[in-house]
């Protein structure tokens, strides 16, 4: 019956632990066991990689103090900085205003197209596909403006309104 060779045994062997006789006996056991040989090669790769690292990163000397000081602070739930949020909000506003101006001037009234599916590659007899689908650019622009407004309200809430109300609630709680 083969002796079970564990990862701890292999790691101790890689670290050079044990006497010379123990290491030779262990090496003989590993050479007789194909699974242990494979696992040893895997662990040697990891061992080599870790040994050749530039060094273990050390935290700063006051790391523990910083962590302990920040334990009781409230986390900020803003995903965007106010500056970036305002830039995104302004961009959305400009895009929405331009799209609405173009839609109200009739720029998209004559833009209709039909997507034809007759020339699709492959066998389309198995799946019931319509031969064509009408596409109205004016409807697309309206949906685009609606999505911009929803995203704009989300940005307005996250970048402007929520920080204002958080500061107000913090002042009231003091």
Global pTM reads: 0.40
Residues 110 and 157 in one domain: yes
Decide if 17 is inside a domain. yes
Residues 45 and 100 in one domain: no
Q: Can you tell me the distance from the alpha carbon of 96 to that of 91, in angstroms, rounded to the nearest whole number? A: 9
* 141 in Cβ contact with 99 (< 8 Å): yes
The DSSP output letter for 26 is H
Residue-level pLDDT, tens digit, the chain, 174 residues = 456 888 888 888 888 888 888 889 888 988 988 888 898 899 888 888 887 777 667 778 888 888 888 887 776 655 567 777 788 888 888 888 888 888 788 777 776 666 666 666 666 566 666 666 677 777 888 888 888 888 888 888 877 777 778 777 777 766
Decide if 75 is inside a domain. no
Decide if 67 is inside a domain. no
Number of domains observed in the structure of the chain: 2
Which has the closest alpha carbon to 6: 49, 92, 14?
14
Domain that holds residue 115: 82-173
Task: Name every residue whose Cβ is closer than 8 Å to that of residue 23 and which is 6 or more positions away in sequence.
Answer: 13, 16
Residues 45 and 87 in one domain: no
Residues 87 and 167 in one domain: yes
Residues 47 and 87 in one domain: no
* pLDDT reported for residue 125: 65
Residues 36 and 86 in one domain: no
C-alpha 111 chain-centroid distance: 39
* pLDDT reported for residue 11: 86
The DSSP output letter for 2 is P
Decide if 142 is inside a domain. yes
Residues 99 and 25 in one domain: no
Decide if 61 is inside a domain. no
Which has the closest alpha carbon to 26: 1, 3, 48, 43?
3
Residues 100 and 165 in one domain: yes
Task: Name every residue whose Cβ is closer than 8 Å to that of residue 162 and which is 6 or more positions away in sequence.
Answer: 77, 78
Decide if 44 is inside a domain. yes
Residues 111 and 169 in one domain: yes
Decide if 57 is inside a domain. no
Residues 91 and 131 in one domain: yes
Residues 34 and 89 in one domain: no
Q: Token pair of 126, please?
A: 């198995």
Q: How many CA atoms lie within 13 A of 49 on its CB side?
A: 6
């Amino acid at each position: 019956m083969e002796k079970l060779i564990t990862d701890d045994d292999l790691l101790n062997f890689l670290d050079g632990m044990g006497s010379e006789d123990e290491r030779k006996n262990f090496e003989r056991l590993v050479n007789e066991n194909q699974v242990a040989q494979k696992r040893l090669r895997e662990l040697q790769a990891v061992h080599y990689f870790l040994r050749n690292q530039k060094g273990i990163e050390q935290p700063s000397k006051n790391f523990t103090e910083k962590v302990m000081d920040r334990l009781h602070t409230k986390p900020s739930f803003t995903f965007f900085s106010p500056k970036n949020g305002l830039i995104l909000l302004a961009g959305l506003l400009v895009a929405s205003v331009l799209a609405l101006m173009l839609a109200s001037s009739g720029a998209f009234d004559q833009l209709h197209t039909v997507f034809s599916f007759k020339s699709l590659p492959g066998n389309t007899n198995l799946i019931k596909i319509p031969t064509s689908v009408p596409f109205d650019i004016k409807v697309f622009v309206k949906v685009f403006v609606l999505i911009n407004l929803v995203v704009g309200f989300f940005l307005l809430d996250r970048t402007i309104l929520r920080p204002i109300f958080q500061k107000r609630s913090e002042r009231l709680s003091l």
